[in-house]
Amino acid sequence: MDFPILYLRKGAERRLRAGHLWVYSNEVDTQRSPLPGFEPGAQVQVRASNDKPMGVAFVNPHALICGRLISRDADHGMTPKRLTDRMEAALSLRERLFDKPFYRWVFGDSDGLSGLVVDRFGDVVVVQISTAGMEQMKDAIVRAVQRLAHSRVIVLKNDGKMRKVEGLDTYVEFAHGPEADTVLVEENGARFEVPLAGGQKTGWFYDHRMNRQRLQAYAPGKKVLDVFSYVGGWGIQAACAGASQVTCVDASSSAVDAVHHNAKLNGLENVDTIEGDAFDALKALADEKEKFDIVVLDPPALIPRRRDQKAGEQAYARLNQLGLRLLERDGLLVSASCSMHLSQEKLIDIIRGSGRKIDRFVQLLEQGHQAPDHPIVPGIPETDYIKSCFVRSLTGFL
């Protein structure tokens, strides 16, 4: 098949050769291939400055990431069959990993499907498309989900921020099956009802699954504070594992309502909530001399862009200091981050500094990262974003 050609500047092919899949607009030789000449979502052949073919990419001349490689074979791009084959390969991995159909089925670039995320909740599948190229494959994606999973409901939850960058409209659409407000999730022995159309992202965050499982080993008999709790993922799993008391903190009233609903769903009577800003709530609890055996901090990305690095690191430091202050003498801090721009090493350093500032002796017990249904591609650092630290905090120990 003949594709329009996108030429790279000299040396710009190095990242692609090293395993990455993205082309930035400032890496394009716009003299040989002017970006305005490409249709958003079209497939193009990418060539190095010496004319060597690098593969086929989806192109969007209006986006900073203007090319996303979908094939290393320069003669063959994305077709409905290739899309279905890759979704089938992704599904086979998840079916080996998990005994029930609750997982992230497709994780974008990590599964060779840049711009596509698919989450599975039993017989309900939620699809998120974030690029112009994948938007053109929308019908093929729905057909592939139907063929491979025989899903009762397929939801297109295309309301993410990336779509605006790509020049795409936002919408939520039930592409197959009856409309529903909520969906049931099972994770680590707990059950949750989460919002579909009105929820965050796809409605649930499978990425911390293994870290929430780790928490269960520490939870029996403990008083737990779950900050930025959303619908209670960490706290309710701790309560199911035998925590004596759980308090969930979130700024959203609908999230707080969902925590109470999910506590009842699991037969729990020891879960309460605080509705409000997390930093304000933590300060108020400290002023009231409240103490907890375990504090979980799982904020949204506090460093959404590289230019937010300094302010974001300061926010993580304030948050971890507040969390450590609320711990009993021999307490456990679970400090998590989903900021791709914050490394595991930097998070540990922030916790170290926070401990020294308030005179706590801290021991790093465990480190966790994203669950295996969010595979990391070594050549694409952006696929490695989740981290968690399980830290024991001792007062007056040393």
pLDDT at 260: 97
Which CATH number is associated with domain 189-395?
3.40.50.150
pLDDT at 276: 96
278 phi and psi angles, rounded to 5 deg: -60, -45
Which CATH number is associated with domain 80-180?
3.30.750.80
Please list the residue range(s) of the chain that carry CATH number 2.30.130.10: 5-71
As averages over each run of 10 residues, the pLDDT of the chain (398 residues) reads 93 96 97 95 97 97 96 95 98 97 98 97 96 97 98 94 92 93 94 84 90 97 97 97 98 95 97 97 97 97 90 95 96 96 94 94 96 96 95 85
pLDDT at 23: 97
CA trace torsion 388, 390, 396, 398 (10° rounding): -90
- What is the maximal distance between C-alpha atoms in the chain? 71
pLDDT at 397: 72
CATH superfamily assigned to domain 5-71: PUA domain (2.30.130.10)
Please list the residue range(s) of the chain that carry CATH number 3.30.750.80: 80-180
Q: Which residues of 112-149 are buried (b: 16+ CB within 10 A; e: fewer)?
A: bbbbbbbbbbbebbbbbbbbbbbbbbbebbbbbbeebb
pLDDT at 2: 86
Q: How many CB atoms lie within 10 A of CB 359?
A: 10
pLDDT at 396: 73
CA distance 202 to 113: 17
Please list the residue range(s) of the chain that carry CATH number 3.40.50.150: 189-395
